[in-house]
Amino acid sequence: MKTRIASVLIVTFLFCGATYSQVLIGPIAGVNYSWTSFGDKDLKDDYEVSPVVGYHVGGHLAFKVRKRFFLHSSIIYSTKGKNMKADDDDLRLNLRYKYIEMPIVYTAYFKGTIGQKQFKYSLGVGPNVSYWLGGKGTFENTDTHEFHNGPSSVIPVKIVFNRDPETATENEMIVQKPNRVQLGLNFTAGFLFEPARYREVVLTLRYELGHSYLSRESDGVFSSTFPTYSETQKIRNQGFRVSLAYLIDMKVEDRKKGKSTIDRRRPK
């Protein structure tokens, strides 16, 4: 069901773009500050979760809908994650998730002034569609201290999907039934600068509220060598994101044609 919703959002957004009077396109990149929240509130008392710093990079697209309203979207590669610990069993779990994401934000622009200089600022809201690629991290608890034969009790792990948990090796965390297509909600605020004609620099601060769990049906399972811990996947991503996009107006020629027609009709 979520896959269908995501597909409809993407196709509708791209189809509608051809009808808009102004289309801007360009690269986007920035910094993420993310964490996860538990679906089971009781777990909040057992584990301490702290944010991690990641990044995102990709392409950005903006369509003018009305005078001050734009639809903004990006196709980006993004990293998120969490640091988690529990003193009861000396647990230390640090994970970094990898995603392909498509945020779609309906944005309204407003004019402001500082002294005699004008600028534009924006507010926006819209869905976020994410596809979970995988991830990696490190794992440590009382079992790794006791049973691991390596030089350190900290075990590097890789997230693996759709495998029998019984086949997990020491360096794998298997999620048997992952929810790889995930939905969330974006709230944005930003500033727009115009360094040159038909060029825009857009600075955006975004808060992402995750809606989908990473998995409702299975936990992250480690090797049978470390049997006392499994990582709940009934968690949601949350976080802040700062992005900088450099956009070029792709429909400049349409406006030029309109101006040349007007000039030819002007009486001498």
Q: Which residues of 26-51 are buried (b: 16+ CB within 10 A; e: fewer)?
A: bebbbebebbbebeeeeeeeebebeb
pLDDT band with cut points at 50, 70 and 90 for residue 134:
very high
Confidence at residue 252, expressed as pLDDT on a 0 to 100 scale: 58
Q: Which of 72, 66, 58 lies closest to 105 in space, CA to CA?
A: 72
Q: Which two tokens stand for residue 8?
A: 């409809």
**In DSSP terms, which residues pair with 133 in a beta bridge?**
none
Neighbours of 56 (CB within 10 A): 22
> Which helix (H) or strand (E) covers residue 235, if one does?
strand 235-249
The per-residue pLDDT for range 177-232, each reduced to its tens digit, is: 999 999 999 999 999 988 888 899 999 999 999 999 999 999 999 877 766 678 99
For residue 24, the Cα-to-chain-centroid distance in whole angstroms is 21
pLDDT at 141 over 90: no
What is the average pLDDT across 165-181? 91
Rg (CA), the chain: 23
Cβ proximity of 85 and 93 under 8 Å: yes
Q: What is the pTM of this model?
A: 0.82
Confidence at residue 222, expressed as pLDDT on a 0 to 100 scale: 84
pLDDT band with cut points at 50, 70 and 90 for residue 42:
confident
- State the chain's mean pLDDT as an integer: 85
The residue with tokens 């994410």 is: 130
What is the average pLDDT across 30-44? 93
Confidence at residue 266, expressed as pLDDT on a 0 to 100 scale: 38
The DSSP code sequence of 118-162 is EEEEEEEEEEEEEEEEEEEEEEE-HHHHHH--SS-SPEEEEEEES
Q: Which CATH class is domain 2-258?
A: mainly beta
